[in-house]
Every structure is written in structure tokens, then in C-alpha cells.
Structure 1
Amino acid sequence: MSTTQYLLGVHHGDEISWPEGVTVDQVMADVDAFNVKLREQGRWVFAGGLQPASSATVIDATGAEPVVTDGPYVESKEYLGGFWVIEATDLDEAMRWGTEASAACHGPVEVRPFQSE
């Protein structure tokens, strides 16, 4: 059975807000449990949390000389704060994993397939 890799992206702002009564300890425990399930089901590829967008460095080498600037490239209220890369047989399965990821991190999750090679 062939699989496709999908990105499950967690977007939030510099100030993360969870539903009332949800603590960071609960979120971390829920995410850890989700990570274990992904591994047990053989769907885990890679995951990580990212530092705030303000810690980013942007390099633009499209001109004669590279231009390096501090901060995010995109001006927005939300940015990619963390992610999972998973393997799934199809979009329906990836959406089921995305639903579980959203519940685990107590926030919205974007599901996006990788381009084929």
C-alpha cells in the first residue's frame, strides 16, 4: 500500500491562547500522547515546534547579491508554530490524523500534502 507524506501545520501568534481551562501541561501531555499514537501506527515521519517568527532570518538571493533581513518574511498575525510530517494512504486518512492533531494541540491544524518527487 503506497503512502503520501502530509504536513500537519499548527498556526498561532506570538501569544498562544488555548480554550479556557486548558493548561500548557495538558497540551504537552495531549501532544505527547498523539506522537506516541503516530509512532505506534507507523505514520510518524518527523515533528517539531518552532521558535517565534520574530527569531527568523530571511535570505533573498534572487538579485545580484543576497539580502539578509531579520524577522519573518510574511507580515501576518499568525505563523507556523509547529508541525508534524506524517505518512497516510490518502487525504481522508490524513484528515483523520489532522483532526486528532487539532484536538491534541487544542488549536487549528492545516493538512497539506507534499508534492510528489
Structure 2
Amino acid sequence: MQYMLLIYGTETTTTPVPKEAIAQMSAGYAAYTQAMKKAGVWVSGDRLKPTQLATSVRVADGKTNVLDGPYADTKEQLGGYYLIDVPDMDQAIAWAARCPGASTGTLEVRPVWPTEM
């Protein structure tokens, strides 16, 4: 079964992040991704650009409303995702717990509901 691991974290910080910390986090994600690929559970994954580049679309009464930025004002923003294929939720949770983002933010684990065509 496929599960989406949604990585939430805080985009803004009042202090600049040291280059060493960025390099360490990048290395952590690279190792995590390689572990998923080696285990044969990785389907896809990517980072997302900052929410300030997002556009939200809603349709109300047949009229399309386009808003710059994310619609919801939240403490944490969706920063990336992994799509994995594992037998059950317990294994999806185990992989989510290994993600570097779990130690600095929140990982939401959601089963994928396949569209039958």
C-alpha cells in the first residue's frame, strides 16, 4: 500500500541558519532517501518551494478566486513529501520517524486512496 509522508516545518526563522547546519540536514535527507531506495519502499519525493511562491485557488458560486500564498495561516508549512510503498501503517510510521524532518517539525502519514479508472 502507498503512503504519503508529508513533511511540515517552520519556514521562517529570525536567525540565519548556519551553512554547516544546512549541509548536515541535506546529508541526513540524502542518507534517508538512499535507505528508502535500498529497502525498495521509495516511490517518489521532493522538496517544495517556500509558501510565499504558492498560489491558492478556490471556486465559489462558479467564480474562480486566486490568492497569492497559502490559504491557511499555520505555524508549520508543508515543505516536501515522500511517497512510499510499504505493507501497512506501522511500517509507514517507522519510516516517518526516521525522516530528518520528524526531529524539527511534523510528519503527517496518510494512506493514498488510489483512483480507479
TM bracket (short chain): 0.7 to 0.9
SS in structure 1 of the partner of residue 60 of structure 2: coil
Tell me the residue number matched to 1:14.
Answer: 11
Shift of 1:90: 0.4
TM-score (norm 1): 0.82
Shift of 1:53: 1.3
SS in structure 1 of the partner of residue 94 of structure 2: helix
In structure 1, list runs of 5 or more residues that go unmatched: none
Residue 33 in 1 paired to residue 31 in 2? yes
Task: Find the aligned partners of 1:58 and 1:110 in 2 and give their Cα distance.
Answer: 21
Q: Which of 105, 108, 111 is the aligned partner of 1:110?
A: 108
Tell me the residue number matched to 1:78.
Answer: 76
- Provide the aligned C-alpha RMSD in A: 1.9
Aligned positions, number: 108
SS in structure 2 of the partner of residue 61 of structure 1: strand
Shift of 1:46: 0.9
Shift of 1:28: 0.4
In structure 2, list runs of 5 or more residues that go unmatched: none
SS in structure 2 of the partner of residue 23 of structure 1: helix
Task: Find the aligned partners of 1:95 and 1:57 in 2 and give their Cα distance.
Answer: 30
Tell me the residue number matched to 1:5.
Answer: 2
Task: Find the aligned partners of 1:33 and 1:116 in 2 and give their Cα distance.
Answer: 29
TM-score (norm 2): 0.82
Misfit runs of 4+, over 3 Å: none
What does 1:41-52 correspond to in 2, within 5 Å? 41-52=39-50
2:25 is aligned with what amino acid? V
